[in-house]
Amino acid sequence: MMANKINLARQAIMDSSYLVCLQGHNTSMDCGCMDYRDSNVVYDIEEKYGYSSEEMFHASFYNTRPEQFFKYYKQEILEHTGSPGDGPHALAELEKQGILKCVVTREIFSLARRGGCKNVVELHGSVFSNMCSHCRKEYPLEYVKKAKGVPLCEECHRPIRPQVCLVGEQVDNARVTEAAEEIEKADVLLLLDCSMNQKLVTTHLKYFEGNKVILINPAEHFTDTRADIVIHGKVSEILPKIVYGEREDDEK
């Protein structure tokens, strides 16, 4: 049954003329990144800092308690940026073959880009992008990590702002528009590490006018029936089988 679904997904992807991928935030956790929404670390974070992750990753916390914000941000978020796994690398291979046209994602660790994809719409920005809030000078992630306390601009000594969408902030309209335009052009939509009822999907599915939706997600959900092809399993295991074929079988 699984093999049949993988074959169906492979055929739909390889036959597509404009494949667009929606990559869910669960990819972050699968690749070893920190997710402030992770229920498994809620208690430990509150014990350590006296606030929840959601409180500290909020725009108002950044504005009113910058020292505490950056203590949490550097120790928890920037120390767990993970590395692109087999899923992002498989996406890069699809792009290299000219099949995948765009990745739209809400994760903030640039996993698709770091995996090799070029055309990526990072709706919530990236921890790898940092900018002075005053003069707009850009700084790498390492500069923020190594700074004592609040990282300050070398030029004007104003705080450096991570270019990520914090809790309580609106997503950049230009990115939303770009994502919508890409999805409108798609004939096949590939959904990874998300369910059909998650915001990433519900916000953008209305722009899709293609003929096939492929969903790959570890957890089952009652909305799965809205997709044309559904495969339950880890993206890091399933997607490479779709892109490269059953390597295990080839080696035997």
Average pLDDT over the chain reads 93
Tell which wins on pLDDT, 196 or 40.
196
pLDDT confidence band for 248 (50 / 70 / 90): very low
Q: How far apart are CA 162 and CA 124, in angstroms?
A: 11
Q: Strand order in 188-192's β-sheet?
A: 120-122, 100-105, 19-23, 188-192, 212-217, 229-232
The pTM of this model reads 0.92
pLDDT surpassing 70 at residue 105: yes
Q: pLDDT (tens digit, 9 = 90+) per residue, 167-192?
A: 999 999 999 999 999 999 999 999 99
Residue 246: pLDDT band with limits 50, 70, 90: low
Count of alpha carbons within 13 angstroms of residue 203, beta-carbon side = 18
Confidence (pLDDT) at 42: 84
Per-residue pLDDT, 36: 78
pLDDT in tens, 56-78: 999 999 999 999 999 999 999 99
What is the mean pLDDT of the segment spanning 145-158? 96
pLDDT above 60: residue 216: yes
Domains of the chain and CATH, by start: 2-32+84-124+171-251 (3.40.50.1220), 42-77 (no CATH), 128-164 (3.30.1600.10)
* Spatial CB neighbours of 94, under 8 Å, sequence gap ≥ 6: 13, 19, 100, 243
Query: What are the residues facing 20 on neighbouring strands?
Result: 102, 189
Which pLDDT belongs to residue 214? 98
Residue 164 structure tokens: 């990520």
Distance of alpha carbon 90 from its chain centroid, rounded? 15
Contact of 100 with 16, CB cutoff 8 Å:
no
Q: pLDDT band for position 123 (50/70/90)? A: very high
For residues 157 and 182, the answer to whether their CB atoms sit within 8 Å is no
